[in-house]
Amino acid sequence: MKARSSFLRSAGTGLTAIAAAVLLITLATPASAGTVTDEYPETPALNPKLPNVKTTHKSDHIKANILNPHPVCNASEDHRTTVYKVTDRFLPVGTISTTNNTNKSIPLTQNTSKSQSISLEVNGSQTSTTSVNGNGSGSKDGLSGTFGIAWSLAKTIGGSASYTFSWDVGQTIGPYDVPAGHTGDGTYGFRAINMTGTQQFCKADGTWSNPTAWRAFSPIKNEVRVKIYDDPADSDQSGKPGADQGAPEVTEKENPKPTENTIDSNSEPTGGTAGTKPTEPVKHDLAPKITVSDAKAPGYAGLAALRVENVGTDRYFSEDPSVSFRVDVKTEKGPEDVDRLITPGWFNGAYTRDLGFDEKKSTRSFLVTLSNPIKKGETQLVANLDFGDGNTSEGRLQNSIVVSQVKRLDDDTSTYNDQNVSSKDIAVNDAGKPAKAGGLF
């Protein structure tokens, strides 16, 4: 196989790996067996723990800022790109097929009749970029754009990446041996990764702006998938052009060695159960708080806010690991398998990611990741949840909120006030008094 890459000529031995075709041969199964196709991404072994943060600094140090004695970035200079989710998938562009009706093996091979290419995209367009996505460029067919950050992050996550890959006219697919009495299908295309996350700029006070959504698509290799079968029922049509066969998401939960800072969107928070309150003040300790207006009646539309208070003796800030809280919205009353409409918001540089609805647990989860420091004694608004009306044909939904800190500073061992904390215990109104509705929304 030959794969062309305009920007990886110096990749050395990596070029061979990128250009190599993948041969997947599945033997025929008995006619009575069900056909199950499992696809797994190639990136987990190379994928670092997410989120993956890339900060671009124009200066080699953080400059003094008259608006903030402890800036974390340089105003009007620095940018921050964060990847929260990665998907890995095969994108077919054509299929060749051979049926062997002889008594000997024959080759499955063909030359491509037309060119097919794939290019890196940022925010869905090969020529449209965000103002933050700089430091590098790529071009194709006379079009150019600044894709440096997207390409760099794709290299980090996928292990190999390019601005463009092509199948050229006359390029050979195969040969692959097709046994007597069998049919061989060879689907050729591209392996690519999709990244979704946020981008931020440094504000005048030396803190990060509220995040804006960002996504990029990067090709990582040419690929061929081969299917050998002797029964037409065993033909896997998912590799044909036009079929949607995405691979499983590469998220934090697939890290082979879960740690305290690993997020699993399908399990309970990994921080453990609440501990004992320290007898002496600690340097670093955060406590979540839920605030809601007394006008918000349970089961009706309205807002609930998540705030984080620094109850330690020192300023709280960490970029690696990024400080994160998991927010679980649980059904307290009403149909347990109905997902209520909830729209998340985020503030002060934090980002709220929707982790989805678990029907078995009747819980919708969110991950709130901070990017700015919290001063000693400060209570910072980081997120809100905009509840839609909970009325359904099966009854009115009422929900509670459970918050747990899942990523923290290494010396923050105080968990008594940040693990499985329920809004029924901590929800307060705008005056700081216990919420009239008792923490139900």
Domain extents for the chain?
A: 13-254, 286-428
> pTM for this structure?
0.71
Q: What is the pLDDT of residue 215?
A: 83
Q: What is the pLDDT of residue 235?
A: 65
Q: What is the pLDDT of residue 242?
A: 37
Per the CB < 8 A criterion, the answer to whether 367 and 324 are in contact is: yes
When pLDDT is cut at 50, 70 and 90, the band that residue 124 belongs to is low
Average pLDDT over residues 125-129: 46
Q: How many contiguous H segments (helices) and E segments (strands) does the chain have?
A: 3, 24
The answer, yes or no, to whether residue 316 has pLDDT greater than 60, is yes
Of residues 174 and 282, the one with the higher pLDDT is 282
Please name the residues in contact with 244: beta carbons below 8 A apart, sequence gap of 6 or more: none
Q: What percent of the chain has pLDDT over 90?
A: 35
Amino acid, single-letter form, for residue 262: T
The CATH architecture to which 286-428 belongs is: Sandwich (2.60)
* Tokens describing residue 132: 């933050």
Least confident of 27-41, 61-75, 101-115, 139-153: 27-41
The answer, yes or no, to whether residue 77 has pLDDT greater than 90, is no
Amino acid, single-letter form, for residue 378: E
DSSP state letter for 13? H
Average pLDDT over residues 390-397: 93
Cα–Cα distance for residue pair 58/78, rounded to 1 Å: 6
The answer, yes or no, to whether residue 241 has pLDDT greater than 50, is no
Kindly report the average pLDDT of the chain as a whole number: 76
Rg over CA atoms, the chain: 26
Per the CB < 8 A criterion, the answer to whether 415 and 311 are in contact is: no
Please name the residues in contact with 418: beta carbons below 8 A apart, sequence gap of 6 or more: 271, 274, 285, 286, 287, 288, 325, 403, 404, 405
